[in-house]
Structure 1
Amino acid sequence: MHKVFSGKNGKTIPYLDTVIFLVIISLFFGYLGARMGISNMFSTIMATAYQLLIDTVFYIMAIAVLTGAFGKLATEFGLVKLLNKIFSPLMKPLFNMPGVAFLGIITTYLSDNPAIISLSKDDDFLSYFKKHQVPCLCNLGTAFGMGLIVTTFMTSKGYFKEALIGNIGAVIGSIVSVRIMAYRTKKVLPEESEKTEKGMGNKRNKDIEDNIIEHTEGSFFERFLTAFLEGGKLGVDIGLNIIPGVLVICTVIMLLTFGPIDPSVGYQGKAYEGVQLLPKIGEWLSPIIKPLFGFKNPEAIAFPITALGAVGAALSLVPKFLESGVIGPNEIAVFTAMGMCWSGFLSTHVAMLDALGHRKLISKAITSHVIGGIAAGISAHLLVLLLGLA
C-alpha cells in the first residue's frame, strides 16, 4: 500500500501519491482533450513523437557521433592536454578553482555532464581541491555538458557567430554558478586541515593529465582508428540516451507551445499542434523576459524551460522555431548559452552530487545553477546587442 506521512502526529494517508498523480494526469489530458478533442490529441502526440524521432533525434545523434569521434581523437593525440596547459592558469582567477579543474570543463564539453564524475574518482585529481570545492565540480561540469554538440547543432543551422557568443555567455554563467556554489559550500563544509593543504602542495608539480587521460597502444593509424570508432560509439550512446527526453519532454512542450497548423480549419491531429499555453505564460512574463533575454516572441520561453530537464529535447524545438520565424540570431545566442549552462541539470544534479558524496547540498547546487543559467542568457543577449547582431 502506498502511504505518505502527513503532519507531526505521524498519521498516514493511503494512496495520497496515487491520488495526486491521477489528479495531475487528469487535469493535463483533460485540458488538452477539451481543447483539441480526444482523437486529435492522441493523434498529435503520436505524430509529434514520431516526427521528433525521425527529423531531430537522428540528426542530433549524427552530430553526437561526429563530435564524440573528434573528442576522443583530441584526447588520444594530446589536444586536451595542450588545452589544459594553456587554459588551466585561468581557472583560479575566473572560478577560484585549481587549474586542473579545466580538465573537467573540456571533458564535459566534448561529451556530457557526468563525464566530470569519472575524473572525481581519481584521488590525484581530487587532491588538488579543498573540501568545499569538490561539490562545485557538479556545477562546473554541468555548465559545459554537451557543449560541443549544442554548438555544432546551432552552427549547422547557419548561426556560427551566435553560437560562439552563446559559448561566451555559458562561460560567464558557469563562473556565476560555481562561485555562488563555492561561497555557499564554504559555510557548510569544514576548512581543510593544515596536513591536507600540505599534501596538496606536494602534488603541484605532478603532471596529472598523464594519470587521468589514457592513451591506447599501437601505431598512429591504429590509435587514430581506435579513438575514432570508440568516440563515435560514445556519440551513439549519447544519442540513444537523449531519445526519452526528446520524445517525452519535447512532445509535451510542443503540445503546450504551438497552435493548430491551420487555425481556419482547427485541430486536425497533425504533428506539432498544441494549445499555446506556454506563449500565454510567456506574454505574462514578457515584461521580465524581454529585457533580460530579448525574446521577440513569447513561444521562445519553451527552450530554457525544456533545457532545465534535457538539452537534447530543447534542441529539438529549434528547427520548428526557425521554420515558424519564432526565433532569430539573438535567440540562438541565448539558447546556446542557456542550453549549455543548464544542460538538463535537473535530471543529472542529484546523481552527480550523490557520486561526489554531497547529496545534502542538492538545493544549494540547483539554486546556484539556476542563477548561473539566467546570467548566461543575459550575458549572451547583451553581447548580441553590443556586437549589433540582433
Structure 2
Amino acid sequence: MQNIIADKGKKRSPYLDTIAFLALLVTFFGYIGSKMGISNMFSTIMATAYELLVDTVLYIMAIAVLAGAFGKLATEFGLVKLLNKIFSPLMRPLYNLPGVASLGIITTYLSDNPAIISLAKDDEYISYFEEYETPCLCNLGTSFGMGLIVTTFVIGLGYFKEAIVGNLGAVIGSIVSVRIMSHRSRKALGISKATVEKNLSKKDLSDTLIERTEGSFFERFLTAFLEGGKLGVDIGLGIIPGVLVICTIIMILTFGPLDPSIGYQGKAFEGVGLLPKIGEIIAPVSKILFGFERPEAIAFPVTALGAVGAALSLMPNFLQSGIIGPNEVAVFTAMGMCWSGFLSTHVAMLDALGHRKLISKAISSHFIGGVIAGISAHYILVLINFLSKLT
C-alpha cells in the first residue's frame, strides 16, 4: 500500500512541475505582452538577442581569445609558477588555507571557475589540505573565475583605475567568503588529524601540475598561443546562452520604450522597466552600500549571480544610457569577478569536490562575499578620489 501511494506521488510531481512552469511562462509573457504588445514583445526579444550576439558576445569572445592566449603563455613559460611562489606565503594569514591554494587563484583568474576542480582532483595537490578546507576551494576559485576577462573588458571600456579597484574589492570579498565558509565547514566536518604542510622549497608543486610542451622557444610560444586562443573561443561560445537568454530578459525588465512619446516600436533594448521599480525600493540601501545613482544599476549584480558574461553585456548599454559611471564600473568589476555567476556553477563544483551537503553554506557565504566586494570597491574608490582632491 505504501509503495502504491509513493508511486502515485511520483506520478503527480511531473504534472506539478509542468503546472508551475506554465504558470511562470504565462505570467512572464503575459505581463510583458500586456505592456508592449505581443508583436512588439517578440520583435524586441529577437532584436535584442541579435544585437547582443553581434555587438557584445563577439567582443567578449575576442577578449577571451587574447586573455586565453596570455594565460597559456603564462603557464608555459613559468609566470604562473613565479606568481605561485610570490602569493603562497599570503594564503594562510589571509584565507587560512595552505600556500598551494594560491595556484587555484591564478588558474581560475586566467580561465574560469571550474579550473580549480582539476587541481582538486590531483591527489598530491589535495593532500596539502585538511578535509574541512577542501570545500573552501569552491568559494576561492569562484571568487577569481574569469577575472582576467572581466578586467580586460573593463579596461577596454576605458576604466583602468576602476578595474584595479574592482580587483581589490574582489580580493576582499574572496577573503570574507572563504573565511566564512572555512568556519562553517570546520563546524560541519570537524578537524581531522593535523597534517604538516609540505615544504614547497624542496619540491615546487606547480612543476608537477603544470604541463609544458617540448620544442624550441618559438615552437612552445606558438603552440601555447594557439591553444590558449582556442580555450578563449570555447569560453566565448560557452557564454552565448547565458548572454542571449539571461541578458535579454534582464534588459527587457530594465529599460523602457526608446521614445516614450511614440511608445513601443519592437526595437532592440526596449522593455517594461520593472527592475528600476524594484531598484527604487532598495535605492536607499544600494546608494549607501554601493553608491548606485540610478535604480537600474541593480540589474548588473542580479545578472552576475547567474552569469558574469551576461552581466558584462549590460555595461556598454548602461554606459551609453548614462545609467552608470566610474563608481558603478568599479563596483560591477568587483561583484562580477567575485560572484562569477556562482549560482550556476557552485552546485556542480561542490558535488565534484564530494561535499554536496555544504551547498547552502557555500552559496550563502559567497553571496555575502560578493556584497562585501561591491561595498569595498565603492569605498576604496571614494577614498582614492578624496585623496586625489587633497593633492
> Which TM-score band applies after superposition, normalised by the shorter structure?
over 0.9
Quote the offset at 1:202 in angstroms.
7.2
Residues 1:142 and 2:139 aligned together: no
Q: Determine helix, strand or coil for the equivalent of 1:112.
A: coil
Quote the offset at 1:303 in angstroms.
0.3
Q: Determine helix, strand or coil for the equivalent of 1:388.
A: helix
Quote the offset at 1:191 in angstroms.
1.4
Q: CA deviation digits over 1:314-355, x for unaligned, max 9? A: 000000000000000000000000000000000000110111
Q: CA deviation digits over 1:229-254, x for unaligned, max 9? A: 00000000000000000000000000
Distance 1:189 1:206 in 2: 30
Where do 1:197-346 residues align within 5 Å? 197-198=195-196, 200-201=197-198, 205-346=202-343
Q: Which residue of 2 aligns with 1:354?
A: 351
Q: CA deviation digits over 1:350-383, x for unaligned, max 9? A: 1101111111110000000000000000000000
Look up the equivalent residue of 1:303 and give its one-letter code.
F
What TM-score do you get using the length of structure 1 for normalisation? 0.95
Q: Determine helix, strand or coil for the equivalent of 2:17.
A: helix
Q: Which runs of 5+ in 1 are unaligned?
A: none
Distance 1:193 1:240 in 2: 45
Distance 2:199 2:65 in 1: 40
Q: Which residue of 2 aligns with 1:97?
A: 97
Distance 1:74 1:371 in 2: 32
Q: Which residue of 2 aligns with 1:71?
A: 71
Distance 1:204 1:189 in 2: 30
Quote the offset at 1:201 in angstroms.
4.3
Residues 1:379 and 2:343 aligned together: no
Structure 1 residues 214 and 183 mapped into 2: Cα distance closer, same or farther (>3 Å)? Answer: same
Distance 1:13 1:133 in 2: 37
Q: Which residue of 2 aligns with 1:107?
A: 107
Q: Determine helix, strand or coil for the equivalent of 1:15.
A: helix
Distance 1:202 1:334 in 2: 38
Distance 2:338 2:293 in 1: 22
Q: Determine helix, strand or coil for the equivalent of 1:373.
A: helix
Distance 1:88 1:97 in 2: 10
Q: Determine helix, strand or coil for the equivalent of 2:113.
A: coil
Q: CA deviation digits over 1:280-338, x for unaligned, max 9? A: 00000011111000001000000000000000000000000000000000000000000
Quote the offset at 1:205 in angstroms.
3.5
Q: Which runs of 5+ in 2 are unaligned?
A: none
Distance 2:252 2:277 in 1: 13
Look up the equivalent residue of 1:85 and give its one-letter code.
K
Distance 1:39 1:247 in 2: 19
Structure 1 residues 22 and 124 mapped into 2: Cα distance closer, same or farther (>3 Å)? Answer: same
Distance 2:103 2:27 in 1: 46
Quote the offset at 1:204 in angstroms.
7.4
Q: Percent identity?
A: 75
RMSD between superposed Cα atoms in Å? 1.7
Distance 1:214 1:201 in 2: 21
Q: Which residue of 1 aligns with 2:48?
A: 48
Quote the offset at 1:190 in angstroms.
2.9
Q: Which residue of 2 aligns with 1:58?
A: 58
Distance 1:315 1:334 in 2: 12
Distance 1:63 1:203 in 2: 34
Q: CA deviation digits over 1:211-265, x for unaligned, max 9? A: 1011110000000000000000000000000000000000000000000010100
